[in-house]
Amino acid sequence: MNKVILMGRLTRDPEIRYGGQDNQMAIARFSLAVDRRFKRAGDSADADFFNCTAFGKQAEFVERYLKQGTKILLSGRVQNDNYTNKEGQKVYSVQIIAEELEFAESKNASANNQNMGGGYAAPAGRPSPAAAVGDGFMNIPDGVDDVDLPFN
């Protein structure tokens, strides 16, 4: 079984391109910083950084709603990206292929975090999903029609 679950913040705005047959499939690449629970003795890193890729509907969701500082919960799989460079040396790397994405904090928490010098605030003209209301249903922002949200 190949399954990974990560919660962290985007380190930069996602890079979106279109590929596949007739250049119709969205492909989103982004980096996720995941805080470590415990710091190991002699280790200066407080977070690990993962290169992530989403395809299709997930990539369209990333393009529409995510930006640097957004805190998300991602589940997916680990994929090897090993290759041999021009000098004949083997280069080992991995990436996370996103299968499911959802917000890991409310819109208000994101805004508060932004006011404290980091995090996510929706740019002008871009709708942001609202927090779930008391009945447990998600409010979809005005102007968003027929969206297949991955956290339903």
For the chain, the domains span 1-36+45-152
Confidence of residue 73 (pLDDT cuts 50, 70, 90): very high
Ranking 6-15, 21-30, 51-60 by mean pLDDT, the lowest is 21-30
Res. 116: pLDDT tops 50: yes
Res. 112: pLDDT tops 60: yes
Higher pLDDT, residue 39 or 141 = 39
The 10s digit of each residue's pLDDT in 34-63 is 998 877 777 776 899 999 999 999 999 999
Domain with residues 1-36+45-152, CATH architecture = Beta Barrel (2.40)
Does the model's pTM come out above 0.75? no
- Whether 152 and 135 have beta carbons less than 8 Å apart is answered as no
Predicted confidence at residue 98, as pLDDT, reads 97
Q: What is the spatial distance between Cα 62 and Cα 56, in angstroms, rounded to a whole number? A: 10
